[in-house]
Amino acid sequence: MSEITIQEAKEIIAQEIENLARRNKEPEWMTRIRYKGLEAFEKAPHNDPVISKDELLRFIAKPEIEGLPEHIESLDDLPPEMKALLDRLGISEVEQKYIAGLAVQTDTGIIYNQFLQEWAKKGLIVLPMEEAVKKYPDVVKRHFLQMFSVNESKMAAYHTAVWNGGIFLYVKEGLKVPFPLHLFFLIQESALAQAPHIIIIAERNTEFHLIEGCTAPVLVRHSLHLDMTEAYIHDGAKVQLTVLQNWPEYVHTRPMTRARIGKNARFINTTVGLGTGRSNIANPKYWVEENGYVELNGIILGQKDWYVDLGGEMYLQGREAAGINASKAVIMDESTVITRGKIVAEAPRTKGHISCDALLMSDKAVMETYPGLVSRVDDAELSHEAAIGKIREEELFYLMSRGLSEEKATQLIVKGFLEPMLKDIPMEFLVEIRKIIELAVSGGM
């Protein structure tokens, strides 16, 4: 297709803003925020290493992938390779319908369990973001786009203008939710971009575990996925956020995550990247107050010619704040994985550690790691370690001498390498994750 100008792209975005405002019946203040994103889009910097400015403009002009089925009325309408993979994974028919978008009953496309209605009476509020904007406007105003600036990048400006879908999660002070909350959203209606916005508010002394996404590959129509998450973890709260990703190979994903962690609060953020898509670039940021703790865990399965660049910045702003940035990557085929971690100690007696482990499964696989440690005080403890290598011949030989085939032995070694990071994943997800790892290592994905 012919090149489009920035002005033409802005006109397309402006039309989408009006469509969303009308469709969502959203209040004027939210539409004004969208237009701020549009105003910033032209001059905001763009420094994506994979998607050029011209390519971004092309995505705006033609956001949906060609060749996918227009209307999915049954599982038989799924692309054959996707249906075959779901069958190999042993995904139940009910789950397959969710993945295909067939079981979504609401326009917003958020799937969640019925028990939430009972828990709402106790102070657990889970709503589609479009509904939260109207039902809790004062709370949303205080938290929406407070950790990001529309001027910081074209991606942030674009998300601000055309965001659609996402969740609003609020947990009342002192409430402890004893089971994981599993939410995943599918953009059902036609949209310019898949750009869900997520706000998490954990009031003082709350406890919960949020699992977002799913392990099986989801049918996505868009070339570009731009989700934005803002998490507010107040004093004494203990929050786990587990993000499960399995994107089709034609999707570019640009997740934007930021969190503020209060005094004596804990926030553990684990991303399991089973399918990173064509490229996945992220640089989450965390600000940690006195005696607060943040842990960023990343599991990366690099396949084909995919490009993954995962960062993570932690600012230890309160006395005795601590942070860990850990990643484990299994890199196959001709994929490239880059990990960057940065920990900045800004207060006394703070501690931070960066670790990166990678298993190279191919001579053409590439791994790079760039740790950054910055101390502005004289008694901080900051450290980093990295290990990049291949499966050792003696390990394979030992397992094969015990009767395992080379393929089974390789699968076992890879699963053992990743297992320490999966310790907090509920068993029903763990079973599927292990199957996907086995398939990927044996070339069955």
Q: What angle do CA 208, 211, 213 make, to 5 degrees?
A: 160
Half-sphere exposure of 237 (CA within 13 A, CB side): 31
Higher per-residue confidence, 91 vs 392? 392
Q: Compute the average pLDDT of residues 152-166.
A: 95
Closest by alpha carbon to 250, among 291, 227, 229, 219? 219
CA distance 62 to 335: 27
SS3 of 375-412: ECCCCCEEEEEEEEEECCHHHHHHHHHCCCCHHHHHHH
pLDDT given for residue 107 in this prediction? 32
SS3 state at 347: coil
Considering just the CA atoms, what is the radius of gyration of the chain in Å? 22
Closest by alpha carbon to 72, among 98, 100, 99? 100
pTM of the model: 0.89
CA distance 391 to 411: 11
Q: Which residues of 215-254 are buried (b: 16+ CB within 10 A; e: fewer)?
A: bbbbbbbbbbbbbbbbbbbbbbbbbbbbbbbbbbeebbbb
Question: E strands along 106-196, which residues?
Answer: 110-111, 124-128, 167-171, 181-185
Half-sphere exposure of 114 (CA within 13 A, CB side): 1
439: Cβ–Cβ under 8 A, 6 or more apart, which residues?
A: 85, 88, 89, 445
Query: 33, 157 in Cβ contact below 8 A?
Result: no
Does residue 265 register a pLDDT over 50?
yes
Question: Lowest mean pLDDT: which of 21-30, 105-114, 117-126, 422-431?
Answer: 105-114
Q: What angle do CA 110, 244, 252 make, to 5 degrees?
A: 90
CA distance 437 to 411: 7
Query: 392, 417 in Cβ contact below 8 A?
Result: no
Cβ atoms < 10 Å from Cβ of 416: 10
Please provide the size of the chain in residues. 445
Does residue 1 register a pLDDT over 80?
no
> 382-426: per-residue pLDDT in tens?
999 999 999 989 999 999 999 999 999 999 999 999 999 988 888
Half-sphere exposure of 184 (CA within 13 A, CB side): 21
Q: Compute the average pLDDT of residues 305-325.
A: 96
Domain boundaries, the chain: 392-444
> 174-228: per-residue pLDDT in tens?
999 988 887 765 544 456 678 999 999 999 999 999 988 766 566 666 788 899 9
Cβ atoms < 10 Å from Cβ of 11: 13
> 137-156: per-residue pLDDT in tens?
999 999 999 999 999 999 99
> 365-381: per-residue pLDDT in tens?
999 999 999 999 999 99
Half-sphere exposure of 120 (CA within 13 A, CB side): 10
CA distance 48 to 309: 10
